Amino acid sequence: MTSESATGETKGLVGRVYDLVTRRWPLLAFLSSALMLVIAHAFERFGGLAPCHLCLKQREIYWAAGTVGLIAFALQRTPLWPRLRMPANLLLGALFLYGAGLATYHAGAEWKWWPGPSSCSGVGYAGAADLEAMLKGTAKIKAPACDKAAWVFLGLSMAGWNVLISLKLAVWSVLAALRKSEASV
């Protein structure tokens, strides 16, 4: 089934999905970022998977992209939006692309393709015996090592999945930036 657009052309399901996603991209970028953060915190809280240094850096990207997405979503209702649409969506694309690069670096360290940062040479969690030292503030708790995948699904670690998801989000951001404005459609 097809629908007629304002110009009389018919659009299939793919065209309608493309229009919906690119028109609402700031909101979808915000929601995608929030979902990625919820998933990361759920793995940490309920799965017992403490994040390494690079995991936390990857979360920072989603915090930044979520903030940009939320601000851009609010700006969509203002007269400023036609001028800010492309820069806002390109900024989202740059953030997600940076996130994909960081996740690639992390996944490569997990696969031993290259060394991870020296800040990621942790050896695990503190035991119950360290509770007194933790309360005194003298405990030396090291974060998990970045070069060991804590969780793998279908052959990809969380960092590997983050590469794919971040690339998808970057592509949608660029498509939203390049979308013809509603005035010219």
Torsions phi, psi of 10, nearest 5?
A: -100, 145
Binned average pLDDT, 10 residues per bin, the chain of 185 residues: 51 82 91 96 88 90 97 94 93 97 92 83 53 64 74 87 96 91 51
Region of residue 140 (left: phi > 0; alpha: psi -120 to 50; beta: else)? beta
155 CA to centre of own chain = 20
* Confidence at residue 33, expressed as pLDDT on a 0 to 100 scale: 97
Contact 68, 88 (CB under 8 A): yes
- 3-4 and 10-11: which strand pairing? antiparallel
- Alpha carbon distance 93, 172 (integer Å): 8
| Model pLDDT, residue 126 | 52
How much is the pLDDT for 149? 78
What domains are there in the chain, each with its CATH number?
A: 12-179 (1.20.1550.10)
Query: How much is the pLDDT for 21?
Result: 80
The predicted structure's pLDDT at residue 9 = 56
CB 25, CB 92: distance < 8 Å: yes
What local confidence, expressed as pLDDT, does residue 175 receive? Answer: 92
DSSP 97-136: HHHHHHHHHHHHHHTTSS---GGG-------GGGHHHHHH
